Amino acid sequence: MSYPSCRFIVVPLCLAIGLALSPATLAATQANTATTLDAIQVTAADASAQARERLRRLPGASNVIDVASTPRRLASSADVLAYQPGISAASPGNEGTKVSIRGSGINRGPGAHGSGIAVSIDGLPLTGAGGTPYELLEPLWLSRVEVLRGANGMTRGALALGGAIDYISRSGRDSPGLQLHYEAGSRGYQRRGLGWGGVDGEHDYYLAYADTEFDGYQRHAAGDGQGAMANLGWQLRPDLHTRLFVRYRQTAHQTPGRLTRAQIRNDPRAANPANLAIDAQRPQPGSSWIGNVTTLQLDADSTLQAGLVYHRYPMDLNESLYRQQLDYAGLNATLDYQRRHPLFGRDSETTLGLRLAHDLDADVRESLRRPANGYPAGTRTRDFSHHGSDSTLHLGNRLALAERLELQTGLALVHTRRDVQVRWPQTGGRLREQDWDYAPRLGLSWQHSTHTQWFGNLSRSLEAPHPWSMIWGSNQYFAAGNGPSSGRQSAPVPMRSQTATTLELGARGQAALGQWELTGYHAHLRHELLSVELQPAPNLFIAENNASPTLHRGVEAGLDSTLWQAAPGRLSLRQAYTFSDFRYRGDARFGRNRLPGLPRHAYQAELRFDHGSGLHAALSTDYASRMAVDYANSYWADSRIVFGSRIGYDAPDGRWQAWAEVRNLGDRRYAATVTPGYDDAGRDLARSTPGEGRSVYAGVRWRLD
């Protein structure tokens, strides 16, 4: 059987926009280049509003999520990124959320390092050559999240198909005083948090601790996590500001495994028998993150900002018959110069930036977890390494062609390096590659009226293969006679970078219906990096390979409406709809089949009433159409529609907040994520993780000055 080096197919774009919705208001505002912080009180809501205005200057789609004031359970990135058009985020019951934008990393398994999106923490790159780890993204430490979908991420050196996500930490300026947080709920769930922040003259500080524990929805799904962070700022002089970030967190959880469609319908809390038999689990003994961002105001029109971060994230994977101990460490850096200046007699702003992600350590020691073929547990099977680095130099310009018309151009040069080899029991077959590539971007935004903006962009994106995938996608194995290493991959194989040419068109604004946004995109991909499960647990084997040409196209729509407002309060409706059509363009075997792993239609909505006293109540719904579970489209996971409710109270003085919510009111049984197979021939195989059943959660926050 062959596996995706699959030949993929494209279909013409057919955007069915049957929505009278539309996107966010946009009055042209002046560029906010001054980064020196004034000694004033800044709230999280103020910072989020400023971020929205800044991102609305981009000729493309974006999201700003105010996390600090969200009155609901925030257990993972799936909760943080909910109710956002264009973003798919699904949890398998732990923190390993599967996040995709425009089909980026469409088939990355939940719990694996993410791909297809350049993720940062406070502007410092978290994504490295090996993908994006997730354990440092503690929701209680976040002030807001900024999402630049698609080509808009290029302004921050992000060239992946999905764009960029920046997780912004709380600081002493937006979260002053002592804050206590506690939430608890179904199946042993508890989350505790403590934060302390403030401003002292030229300094500001925020320190926090958080821990969580849960038994999980499935059997054999318990886990926990704990860690601390610090965000320290210092205004060295009026034109020079520096900020230090420190994070440390460790997590562990059992891995219950995937289920069949019949199991999800009849016994969704079951664990996969193979995972139970080997006690599958994923300890992550402790990730460290130490970074600095320093900003120098060169003059009234220009700034220079430098960032550097050291990231160490060891892993101890016990999810198959083999134990894999990984020593991961990386050094990432950014350098950005920004200047306002006239060009051709017009207002203009130029940015020049450098983004570096370099592996310092990516070595793996593999051994038997259990006795096998006469060898005792702990027997060494392989040592291998997969190092890489990604360096991006990007140049961009924003030019005012007319009072309401702006042109944005950009060009990025990318250098990638990969160094992969199996070192034991034999050496040889070392793969050392380096490559140069480029990514241009052209965008226009037109402020049609005070309340409406149109935009569009044409871009090229690219993503190099992860070094580890060059081993896991290998078809070269140790032959019989190599003892416990027999049958394991013996050498890496070369893979090509994924590229895409994308056209994006959209609009946003304010109308009688409310604040709206509507975006359509059409992307032609070459050498798309796709994953497939070739062998199930207990000897789990998921490979990644380049595909034949594929097509990604879709519609992203959001609408926030005030339905009624009077002296007692306000009734509002928030809606987010995402249409996704991801296909082969003419694969030799699969023709024009859909790519498995994500629903074609996704809709989330929340109807909320806010009373003037601080009391609020909400009803929510989450709909997703069925998903293919293999590349042959021979079997499908069921569609879902899930309802929830919430009630809460925000004290008028902002001192405390309490809430309670019920999720999945109807106890609907459905697949939250799919890890696809190649061709299941219509069989119902274990490909899906179940969504959470009916659950009750409550939480409270206190703030003391």
Using pLDDT thresholds of 50, 70 and 90, give the confidence band for residue 169: very high
The arithmetic mean of pLDDT across residues 200-229, rounded, is 97
Res. 28: pLDDT tops 60: no
Question: What confidence category does residue 385 fall into, taking pLDDT thresholds of 50, 70 and 90?
Answer: very high
Helix/strand/coil for 623: strand
Give tens-digit pLDDT for 592-649.
999 999 999 999 999 999 999 999 999 999 999 999 999 999 999 999 999 999 999 9
Q: How far apart are CA 502 and CA 523, in angstroms?
A: 4
Which amino acid does the sequence have at 345?
Answer: G
* C-alpha atoms less than 13 angstroms from C-alpha of 542 in its C-beta half-sphere: 21
What is the phi/psi pair of residue 689, to 5°?
-100, 140
How far does CA 189 lie from the centroid of its chain?
23
Residue in the block written with tokens 């647990």: 537
27, part of any domain: no
Q: Are 519 and 556 in contact (CB under 8 A)?
A: yes
pLDDT surpasses 60 at 13: no
Amino acid identity for residue 44 in this structure: A
Check residue 42 and give its pLDDT.
Answer: 61
Indicate the residue type of 346: R
Q: What pLDDT does 106 receive?
A: 86
Whether the bond into 538 is cis, omega within 30 of 0: yes
Does residue 7 carry a pLDDT above 80?
no
Q: Is residue 637 one of the residues assigned to a domain?
A: yes
Residue 2 has pLDDT above 80, yes or no: no
Q: Which H or E run includes 251?
A: strand 240-254
Q: Average pLDDT of the chain?
A: 91
Predicted pLDDT at 544: 87
Does a structural domain hold residue 18? Answer: no
Instruction: Summarize the confidence of residues 126-131 as an average pLDDT.
Output: 94
Residue 216 buriedness (CB in 10 A; 0-12 / 13-18 / 19+): buried
Position 629 in a domain: yes
Of 247-261, 413-427, 531-545, 679-693, the least confident: 531-545
Burial of 1 (0-12, 13-18, 19+ CB in 10 A): exposed
- Please answer whether residues 125 and 117 qualify as being in contact, where contact means their C-beta atoms are separated by less than 8 angstroms: no
Q: What angle do CA 12, 465, 391 make, to 5 degrees?
A: 105
pLDDT tier at 11, thresholds 50, 70, 90: very low
What confidence tier does 583 reach under pLDDT thresholds 50, 70, 90?
A: very high
- Residue 660 C-alpha from the chain's centroid: 27
Please tell me the least confidently modeled range out of 3-7, 105-109, 208-212, 579-583: 3-7
Task: In whole angstroms, give the CA distance from residue 79 to residue 210.
Answer: 17
Residues 6+ apart with CB under 8 A from 531: 4, 107, 108, 109, 542, 543, 544, 675, 676
- Asked if the model's pLDDT at residue 15 lies above 90, the reply is no
* Structural domain for 500, as ranges: 44-704
Domain count along the chain: 1
Could you tell me if 550 and 528 are in contact, meaning their C-beta atoms sit under 8 angstroms apart?
yes
With 60 as the cut, is the pLDDT of residue 191 above it? Answer: yes
Assign 3-class secondary structure to 559-577: EEEEEEEECCEEEEEEEEE
Which residues, listed in sequence order, are joined to residue 229 by a DSSP beta bridge? 208, 247
- Contact status, residue 261 vs residue 684, Cβ threshold 8 Å: yes
The rounded distance, in Å, linking the Cα atoms of 159 and 61 is: 15
Beta partners for residue 551, in sequence order: 524, 583
DSSP state of 596: S
- Dist CA 615 CA 651 (whole Å): 8
Which among 316, 329, 440 is positioned nearest to 389, based on CA atoms? 329
pLDDT at 27 over 70: no
Q: Residue 636: what pLDDT?
A: 98
Q: Does pLDDT of 705 surpass 50?
A: yes
Strands 177-185 and 695-704: antiparallel
Local confidence band at 447 (pLDDT 50, 70, 90 cut-offs): very high
pLDDT digits over 501-518, tens only?
A: 999 999 999 999 999 999
User: How far apart are the C-alpha atoms of 47 and 24, rounded to whole Å?
Assistant: 17
Does residue 458 fall inside a structural domain? yes
**In the prediction, which pLDDT does 26 show?**
28
Do strands 163-169 and 118-121 pair parallel, antiparallel, or not at all (unpaired)? parallel
Q: Which of 416, 353, 321, 95 is nearest to 224 (CA)?
A: 95
The tens digit of pLDDT for each residue in 330-378 reads 999 999 999 999 999 999 999 999 999 999 999 999 999 999 989 999 9
Between the ranges 204-208, 534-538, 675-679, where is the mean pLDDT highest? 204-208
- Residue 269, both tokens: 């809390």
Report yes or no on 6 lying in a domain.
no
Q: Which amino acid is at 546?
A: N
Task: Identify the CATH number of the domain in which residue 430 sits.
Answer: 2.40.170.20
- Nearest residue to 328 (alpha-carbon basis) of 361, 364, 295: 361
**39 domain-assigned:** no
- Please name which of 102, 75, 111, 108 lies closest in space to residue 158, comparing C-alpha atoms: 102
CA distance 468 to 320: 17
Contact 122, 156 (CB under 8 A): no
pLDDT (0 to 100) of residue 38: 45
Average pLDDT value for residue range 192-208: 97
561 forms beta bridges with: 573
CA angle 374, 380, 386 (to 5 degrees): 140
Q: Does the residue 421 lie in any domain?
A: yes
pLDDT at 22: 30
Of all residues in the chain, the percent with pLDDT exceeding 70 is: 94
309 DSSP β-pair partners: 291, 332
Which pLDDT score is estimated for 104?
93
Total count of residues recorded for the chain: 705
Kindly give, in sequence order, each residue whose CB lies less than 8 Å from that of residue 258, ignoring residues fewer than 6 positions away.
272, 536, 675, 686, 687, 688, 689
